[in-house]
Structure 1
Amino acid sequence: MKKLIFSLALLGGILAGCSSDDDQPIVITEVPGTGGGDDTDSVDTTLSGNITEDITLTNDAIWQLDGRVIVTAGNTLTIEPGTIIKAFAGQEANASVLIIARDAKIEANGTAAAPIIMTSSADGIQLGQTEGTLDENTRGLWGGLIVLGNAPISEDGDVEASQIEGIPASDTNGLYGGTDAADDSGTITYVSIRHGGTLIGEGNEINGLTLGGVGTGTTIDHVEVVGNVDDGIEFFGGTVNASNLLVWAQGDDGLDIDQAYSGTVTNAVVIAGDISDHALEIDGPEGSLNGAFTLNNITLIGSATAPNGEHADYRDGAQGATNNVFVTGFQDGKDVELDNNGVSQNYIDGLISFTNWIVEGVTPANSIFVEKTGDGESTIISPSFTDQAADWTTAGTSGGADLTVFGWTFAAASTSGVID
């Protein structure tokens, strides 16, 4: 193995990497032939620090992230179909993570036959492969993918921009939010994100895919998150629409919505693991700006063993619509809950709605819908939330998401027929 220091000119504009507090040129670690397959000229290439020019990650090398790798404002990261990106673990605030800052772009255009894979350096996956050597229960080996935009967020104190969780406050590249609902952060299609969620501090982990203030100009389609410590995919405000999402074996919530996210998620599946929490966790605005999410065509597959494996939790003033959902595999007594009087009042006022939920294995099907109360509160929905749920809930064995579109995923290859 040899370490080489390259100037930007010698790299031909492919790589640029200077952190804001470190002017050293990027270090390229070159390991011929370790990429797998028949190409003995393949090279493992390590990226670290700030990317300050347009770059392309090609599919003829294993690209490795060492610490925070940030695509800074005005620059575009292009990732070819079939590219494999591995990340070293890093430590706490310096955990390896890929960040697309505000006014930067990512163009990650994989295909069903050649998805882009983001995983840990401990994964033995090689060039040309799509299945790794780690399973869904291997979590927290690196950070994840964070995309930050200029779309509106509803933050406490009505601040226009905020610092994303998982990134130290000293790094202003972690800011997200603004006033441009149509903001464009690029394209993410056919991307599999695996084994992430490094613990930054107590109760502060990185999600598999974090979308902070991302706008409608951005395309999010065919994305898989496997084995993340925290949430699979979390939306912090923003307006971006997302489709064909799969989350498997997350440590916390599958899909998490916060800060008045007002986009639409279409065709998504959450497959709980043995330590998963809620499949859906939905929070509302934190400031005065309101916004309503839409979830359409959703499949929630529960775990027979996860102690906290609930269907969904609507809380903190949640606003939005959840339509055409299939629920299966959850333990008895697990529920879809309205968390307190505030969110129950939103239901009464028509700010939260549910249509066409199909429930397998629970009788009566509507019994999974429960109104809960905070300290000193009493239920306020009459007839009860459970009784009203009979209007939109039926028993059945199929529905929700179209699972046939997930044939390209690691989950499809590894779950013994759960995803066909």
Structure 2
Amino acid sequence: MKNFFLSLCAVAVLGFATGCSDDGPEGPVPVEPGEELSRSGILTENETWTSNNVYILDGKVVVNDGVTLTIEPGTIIKGAKGQEASASALVVDQGGKLVANGTAESPIIFTSVDDNIQPGQKAGTNLDETANGLWGGVIILGKAPISVGNDAGVAQIEGIPATESYGQYGGDQPNDNSGSLKFVSIRHGGITIGQDNEINGLTLGGVGSGTVIQDIEIVANQDDGIEWFGGTVNSSNLLTWAHGDDGLDVDQQYTGTISNAVVIQGDEPGSAFELDGPEGTTNGTPFIMKDITVFANGKDALVADLRDGVVVNLENILVLNPGLASAVKINGEDSQAELSADRIKFANWELLLPGSLTIADFFTGATAETVIKFSGNASAIESAGEASVGANLANFSWTYAAEKGAF
């Protein structure tokens, strides 16, 4: 893999040494506390980003194979502006590790350079949940199995050209470890990188079960909140609010468990769950989504779009305020076949429905026989206070969404 050096040249105004050469960096130059530190290119040595500074992602910042980036609790990282090839993002390449373990009291915050948030703060004052697409997002790439066309076993993640020395994901290591993310809030991202192509808040490409993904918040991302491309990583305590497309998006035969999640749909969302099946010939063990609360927007956004022969168990799901056209949709004959074969399963759904919507209406795209598979595992409730399933909302008291009263 090609070695790129950090673009720390010619920035003496920020307190950096200016001597650079094609031989690569000597390592980050120590600076005084409280500075804005610019990072770009491929990190070739271990680094620790500290909470007394603000880190600026100037284009793609790539954690190289064999390198660990550690981010301290309370650290603020801001993505610079720039579309398409110049879009800013933090990318953890295969073999690299991101250790970003915040706390409820001191979460790690990824946001835009337009955000006036400063060290020690949990939120700025000039942006809200309507401000999206201001930078890219966080992309983690592992070596766990994926299902792609021609059963290739590996692929190039969307948004990164195949000509780059990084961006591949997938493999044969289900226990692969890409690091640990805890108490991380990712805000105002999803910038356009091509026609109808934006970056997700958090992208997990072939990420293995040795990785920790928990207590994650995505706010105001122009594209999906979180998207899994295959992989085996278990993910818990997830919240996505005011996403421009789907809340939780699964592709390429993911086989882990997604648990205790909240999806808060904004004015123009896609589905709360967009769930796709394999792209190759394999069709393996159903993945699990459980203990999830969907705050629907009262309009026509789908709650779940099940596509391309997905196999999944959807358990303990609470749906509040769906619109008349909201539904669980079985999309295509291959998905209908999986439902008939009991490889799409529903268990313990509770729905707070508008007066004119019935449970049977809520399930579309399937035969009368398969409608029973949903209706028999769902019940209507009269108020949110009656709910006995869904997410444990207390786990999200640390989030920006909670502070703003989004749920």
TM-score normalised by L of structure 2:
0.91
Give the Å deviation of 1:27.
Answer: 11
Give the Å deviation of 1:275.
Answer: 1.1
Q: Distance in 1 between matches of 2:52 and 2:150?
A: 48
Q: Distance in 2 between matches of 1:288 and 1:273?
A: 36
Answering whether residue 394 of structure 2 is matched by residue 401 of structure 1, we say no
Answering whether residue 311 of structure 2 is matched by residue 300 of structure 1, we say no
The residue number in structure 2 matching 1:390 is 375
The residue number in structure 2 matching 1:99 is 91
The residue number in structure 2 matching 1:56 is 48
Give the Å deviation of 1:3.
Answer: 4.2
The residue number in structure 1 matching 2:233 is 240
Which SS does the other structure have where 1:131 is aligned?
coil
The residue number in structure 1 matching 2:59 is 67
Distance change (3 Å), C-alpha of 1:27 and 1:331:
farther
Give the Å deviation of 1:26.
Answer: 9.7
Match of 2:13 among 2, 25, 30: 2
CA deviation map 1:71-114 (0-9, x unaligned) = 00000000000000011012211200000000000100000000
Query: Do 1:29 and 1:44's aligned partners in 2 also have CA atoms closer than 8 Å?
Result: no
Query: Do 1:365 and 1:393's aligned partners in 2 also have CA atoms closer than 8 Å?
Result: no
The residue number in structure 1 matching 2:400 is 410
The residue number in structure 1 matching 2:216 is 223
Answering whether residue 117 of structure 2 is matched by residue 125 of structure 1, we say yes
Query: Do 1:5 and 1:27's aligned partners in 2 also have CA atoms closer than 8 Å?
Result: no
Give the Å deviation of 1:4.
Answer: 4.7
Query: Do 2:37 and 2:54's aligned partners in 1 also have CA atoms closer than 8 Å?
Result: yes
Query: Do 2:313 and 2:345's aligned partners in 1 also have CA atoms closer than 8 Å?
Result: yes
Distance change (3 Å), C-alpha of 1:178 and 1:383:
same
Give the Å deviation of 1:389.
Answer: 2.1
Distance change (3 Å), C-alpha of 1:52 and 1:30:
closer
Q: Distance in 2 between matches of 1:390 and 1:350?
A: 14
The residue number in structure 1 matching 2:142 is 149
Give the Å deviation of 1:347.
Answer: 0.4
For residues 137-176 of structure 1, the aligned pairs below 5 Å read 137-176=130-169
Q: Distance in 1 between matches of 2:118 and 2:199?
A: 25
Give the Å deviation of 1:383.
Answer: 2.1
Distance change (3 Å), C-alpha of 1:281 and 1:5:
same
Match of 1:321 among 273, 288, 313: 313
Report the count of equivalent residues: 388
TM-score normalised by L of structure 1:
0.88
Give the Å deviation of 1:42.
Answer: 1.1
Q: Distance in 1 between matches of 2:174 and 2:361?
A: 35
Distance change (3 Å), C-alpha of 1:202 and 1:27:
farther
Q: Distance in 1 between matches of 2:129 and 2:120?
A: 21
1:256 counterpart letter in structure 2:
D
Query: Do 1:334 and 1:368's aligned partners in 2 also have CA atoms closer than 8 Å?
Result: no
Distance change (3 Å), C-alpha of 1:159 and 1:331:
same
1:389 counterpart letter in structure 2:
F
Which stretches of structure 1, 4 residues or longer, exceed 6 Å deviation after superposition? 26-32
CA deviation map 1:203-223 (0-9, x unaligned) = 111000000000000000100
Give the Å deviation of 1:320.
Answer: 1.0
Structure 2 regions of 5+ residues with no counterpart? 1-11
Give the Å deviation of 1:333.
Answer: 2.1
Distance change (3 Å), C-alpha of 1:146 and 1:359:
same
1:100 counterpart letter in structure 2:
V
Query: Do 1:2 and 1:31's aligned partners in 2 also have CA atoms closer than 8 Å?
Result: no
The residue number in structure 2 matching 1:376 is none
Report the identity percentage.
46
The residue number in structure 1 matching 2:4 is none
Query: Do 1:340 and 1:371's aligned partners in 2 also have CA atoms closer than 8 Å?
Result: no
The residue number in structure 2 matching 1:37 is none
Query: Do 2:363 and 2:374's aligned partners in 1 also have CA atoms closer than 8 Å?
Result: no
